[in-house]
Amino acid sequence: MFGKKSIKEAEAARQFIDELLPSSLQAWPQICEKLVPTDSSFRDLGQDRAAAFEFALALLSIQMRALNNLLPADQAKRIEQHIFAVIRNPPREIIISPLLEDGTPKMTIDEIGFFGDEERNPNADTTDYPEQSIALYRQVFDSALEDGDTLTSGPAVLLGMRLGLITQQRQYRPEIIQPLFQYLTMLGGSWWKECLNQYRITL
């Protein structure tokens, strides 16, 4: 402990976003290219910046789950709030819309886990979108782990719904969900554990 450098909570949160958000966005086109054989939609999704941002939010949500396991609850909560402050505004070039390019509604899940039309107005204030999405991804991941089922529920399933890959007509798609889940859980590594090995996080 005495040999570690100190880092402020806010700075740790900023480093977390500055490192993982760009790397997630950059990885998305390659991931889609590998998944094209499972669904041709990935060909277009690989060029979709909003889809890349959605993937990044799902990945960040999984990484943030480690905070409560590694830090006292009050400190973990403060760092979460710093993270949300950093990522509060999506990048300017990303347009968050409830519609696919052809005008059909994207699908998501409502608070009780059923399919429902996305209600967000594409012209509405979206500053709260990252925080709300991360919270929902974490919620569905917790529920999936509790049920012991990450193939029909969990963050990869929610991501698939939001990208229009999973619909009411095509619900169970393990050939998509399994690799998506692997990418989501592997790409970020153990960011917070590595951070704590290197730094002592202070208020």
List the chain domain ranges. 5-94+103-202
Helix, strand or coil, per DSSP, at residue 111: coil
Q: Provide the terminal-to-terminal Cα distance of the chain, rounded to the nearest Å.
A: 16
Residues in the chain predicted with pLDDT less than 50, given as ranges, are 1, 98, 111-114
Q: What is the pTM of this model?
A: 0.86
Contact between residue 79 and residue 13 where contact means Cβ atoms under 8 Å apart: yes
| Residue whose C-alpha is closest to residue 50's, from 186, 176, 159, 170 | 159
pLDDT (0 to 100) of residue 128: 77
Reading the block at residue 113, the tokens are 């886990």
Q: Which two tokens stand for residue 1?
A: 């402990």
* Distances, alpha carbon 151 to alpha carbons 145, 178, 187, 195, in Å: 11, 7, 19, 30
pLDDT at residue 112, rounded to an integer: 43
Q: Provide the pLDDT for residue 88.
A: 82
Question: Phi, psi (5° rounding) for residue 143?
Answer: -65, -40
Which alpha helices (H) appear in the chain, and where do they start and end?
9-35, 41-45, 49-64, 66-70, 73-86, 129-147, 155-162, 174-186, 191-198
